[in-house]
Amino acid sequence: MYRVRNQAARRGLTLVELLLAVSILGIMAGALTGLASAVQQSSGYSQGYGTATQHARVTFERISRTVGEATATDQYPGAVVVSTTVSGFGYPDMLVVWHPNGAPANAAGPPLLSEVVIYCPDPSNPYQLLEVTLPGNSTSIPLNSASLNTPGWQSQLASLVTSPSSNRVLLTNLVRAASVNNANLRAAIRFETEMHPTDSEWAAYQAGTAAWNSLSWAQGICGSQTGLRQVAVRCEVQLLPQQAAGTLDPTSQQAIPFLGSSSFCYQLHQ
């Protein structure tokens, strides 16, 4: 007796079945690839965000410590923001702090350049924020907003920052930079100061048009001869969470804004 073989058992996949299987495998592979890419991008961004946060923390701690130890007098408030003017717009991206190592050379002022600490972007690399000191420079500096925010001192401070005799400490190289009028890049850094009593109030008192007790003393603390002045310094910096091979791509990641503040108090004399 002959046994009839089941021809269906020997039959392979048809072309339609094969195409369907390949399509399913392709869809699964694409989904897994997309999932792996998303996980990798998320991990990279989280790592970059953590790095940017660490840079901001160290930067603000350094600025806060310097500002908190600032020296000031009746005429020199101890911390001044210098604006750079480009195409008619001011960029308040330089902070100058009177921070002598020990007793100041002139107790009543003016400070010396060797006694100040400058925080500003690197003129040759706007992605970098620097801490600059000028050891050995005995030139006096009129450390007040009206005097420093003039073209002469703006230019002189810019040249001192790039001078070979200056000490430059890199605080971060993750600063976001944006173009000004589609030309030069400017760092996304902003400093500002707030004083109580304000400069205008103090000038009015010295001119005899404001009463001593009417000034906006810090916490309302003033006596018959002295009053407490507070100087607050605020800083905003935008950092990029991505760094690849030592270069930054400003278009590849959204910048992260960080805000910091610090203050110090000193006495004004009647």
Bond preceding residue 104 cis, omega within 30 of 0: no
- Please report whether residue 105 resides in a domain: yes
- Please report whether residue 23 resides in a domain: no
- Please report whether residue 29 resides in a domain: no
d(C-alpha 78, C-alpha 267), whole Å: 12
- Please report whether residue 198 resides in a domain: yes
- Please report whether residue 60 resides in a domain: no
Going residue by residue through the chain (270 aa), what tens digit of pLDDT does each one get? 445 555 555 566 677 777 777 778 888 877 777 776 666 555 556 677 888 999 999 999 999 999 999 999 999 999 999 998 777 778 999 999 999 999 999 999 899 999 999 999 999 899 999 999 999 999 999 999 989 999 899 999 999 999 999 999 999 999 998 887 766 788 999 999 999 999 999 999 999 999 999 999 998 999 989 999 999 999 999 998 865 434 445 545 688 999 999 999 999 998
- Please report whether residue 97 resides in a domain: yes
The boundaries of the domain holding residue 256 are 69-269
- Please report whether residue 20 resides in a domain: no
Degrees, nearest 5: CA angle 194-195-199:
115
Domain count, the chain: 1
- Which residue has 């100058």 as its token pair? 96
Within 8 A by CB and 6+ apart from 123, the residues are 158, 161, 162
- Please report whether residue 80 resides in a domain: yes
